[in-house]
Structures are given as C-alpha cells and as structure tokens.
Copies of this chain bind each other. A is one copy, B any other.
Amino acid sequence: MSLSEFSLIDDYIAISRTTRDDVSLGIGDDCAVVEVPPGKSLAVSMDTLVVGRHFIEGVNRVSLGHKALAVNLSDLAAMGAEPAWATLSLTIPEADTRWVQDFMQGFLALADRFGVQLVGGDTTRGPLSITVQIHGFVDPGQIMRRSSAHPGDLIYVTGSLGDAGLALRLQQAGSLDSAHHQQLLQRLDCPTPRITEGMQLASIATAAIDLSDGLIGDLGHIVQQSNCGATIELQRLPCSTAVKAAIAQSNEWSLPLSSGDDYELCFTIPADKQQQLQQLAATLDCPLTRIGVIEQQPGIRCVNAEGAVIDVESGYDHFT
C-alpha cells in the first residue's frame, strides 16, 4: 500500500492497541500478511460511507469512526463469522490530524472490543469518504447464506427495530433533543454489531442478513434468493417505547418495517430448532424475537393481531 503524503498511517499505529498473533506483517509494507486458521474459511466484506449520503457533514467524528467499522462488522455478524482484521481507506479533504485522531478513537475502540487488528489501508486527499474491509473466520459447514431459507422456517430478529429510523426522522425535523433522545441517537450513530449473536446462531440458523436497509427490503433479499416468501406478524415486531409511541401516533409501520440503519440481524431457523434457540437466547444479552414465518408464496405479507393482511407502505417498490 502506498504511504500517503499525509503520513497519517503513523498516527493509526500509535493509537492501535489490538495486536493479533495471526498477523505476520501489519501496516507499513506493500501488503499485510495474515494467517487463516486451518479448517476455517475466510469471510470478507467491504463497505463505503460517503459524506452527504451515509452521514452528514459535521457528524460526530468519534461516532463516525465507530459506525464505519460497525456496518462492516454487522456484515460479518450476518455470516456468523468471528472478526479478525480490518483495512481502512480514508479519503479526507485536508490533512487534519485532529479529525483523524477523533475518527480513529471511535474506530479502534470498537476494533478492540471485538479483537480486530487494523492491518493496512490508504489515506488520500479528496472528498470525505471511508471504505472499510473486514475479515473474519467461519466454519465451512455453518455459512448462513441468504439463499438457504425454507418454507416453514421461523423468522427472528435480534434487538429492536426502528430506533435508528426514528432518530433520523427527529434529526431531519430538527426536533432531536440529544439529552432526551440520547438512547435513540446512540442507536443511529453507534450501532452495536451483533457479532456474538451471529457466531452463536450459525449452528442453528438456515439464513441470515443484517438490517441495513430496513426489514422488508432486507428480508426481501432472503426470500428472493431462497425462492420463497414470508408473512410477518406486526404485533410481534420488537420496538422500543419511543418507536411504539411513534407508530401509535402516525398509525403506520414504516419505522420497524422499512427504516434502515438498525444493524440488527434477521434470521430464519427450522421450526424444530425453536427450543434450542430459546436455550441459546437465555445466554445472550440481546433479545431474539420471533416475527413471522417463511412460506412458499412469493412476496412479503404483513398481518395484524387479527390475522388480516395489512397494506404496508414499505418504501421499497420491488416488494410492495
């Protein structure tokens, strides 16, 4: 990798704390050289965040560093992978050391939490943009593909849905009170990748995806790639008090159904694994909630408490 004219990579090294035995050569050479454990497959995912598109100018820089890594870790979680290494390409308008320090503080704190070592990357001058690639290990027999759901499988989600969407909605309306809405804002700016949950679920789940674009859109990828459909029971959707209040007020379900950025996992299990899942759930900090069932009929249907199919504005043309 080319050392940039900024030589900011030196700063990364200075504040990096996690060092892994499986990194033979880290930052500072043409390549990083790393070792995958025998018998493990390597899972990789790359995501880019661009200013004005994925975050606003003037966003909290520590949070941005956290989120840039979190959205990638979330992809690993959806694959049930154990995180290992990250690479980072940072394009910034000017060599602002303070900016980079703040950003790296958020990035590396999350990296440390999940034992991830930053092994390489690139810094460039240009419009603000961040690309991260994450690397992790999976058991070859336990890959949670999007294409492996079957009719009869039960659909679950981790955590709660719609908090990030509500925070964004309040922010855009100028009515976000960072003291009063601290928890909501935290969900938008500092999502928790469900790594522990994903790794535990890999032996039970048939399919999984992380919720970056909203439940209907992302579950849509599962049913599409699995050649099936799904019914969701609206009253089962796990929502915070704030999101429940917003639903009651607006009388529509777009927050838990189609707002993005929650970074929860949506996964499917065979019906006969329900008890095993309950045992697992008891060991996790994060709730697992059954929200529906996979069916043969294509498309996604939402039913209310009385079992009537509700016409839901999902915001995603291809699934309405």
Contacts and interface: CB of A to CB of B under 8 A. Distances in A.
A50 interface: yes
A31 B210 CA distance: 11
A165 to B, nearest CB: 16
Size bin of chain A's contact surface: 35 or more
B25 A143 contact: yes
Interface in A144-197: 145-147
A279 interface: no
A42 B36 contact: yes
Interface string A208-220: 1110110000000
Contacts of A147: 29
A31 B131 contact: no
A119 interface: yes
Contacts of A212: 2
A45 B1 contact: yes
A203 to B, nearest CB: 16
A269 interface: no
Contacts of A121: 46
A120 interface: yes
A175 to B, nearest CB: 27
B48 A42 contact: no
A158 B138 CA distance: 39
Nearest to A1: B45
B31 A79 contact: yes
A48 B122 contact: yes
A41 B24 CA distance: 9
Contacts of A120: 44-46
B225 A28 contact: yes
Interface string A103-131: 00000000000000001111011110101
B91 A129 contact: yes
Contacts of A62: none
A41 B35 contact: yes
B131 A89 contact: yes
B50 A81 contact: no
Contacts of A127: 50, 126-127, 129
Contacts of A76: 30-31
A1 B42 contact: no
A13 to B, nearest CB: 13
Interface of A: 1-3, 24-25, 28-36, 38, 41-48, 50-54, 71, 75-76, 78-79, 81, 85, 87-89, 91, 119-122, 124-127, 129, 131, 133, 135-136, 138, 140, 143, 145-147, 208-210, 212-213, 221, 225
25 contacts: A1-B46, A1-B75, A2-B71, A25-B143, A28-B146, A28-B225, A29-B147, A30-B45, A30-B75, A30-B79, A30-B208, A30-B209, A31-B79, A31-B81, A32-B45, A34-B42, A36-B42, A38-B38, A44-B135, A46-B88, A46-B122, A51-B126, A52-B126, A89-B131, A126-B129
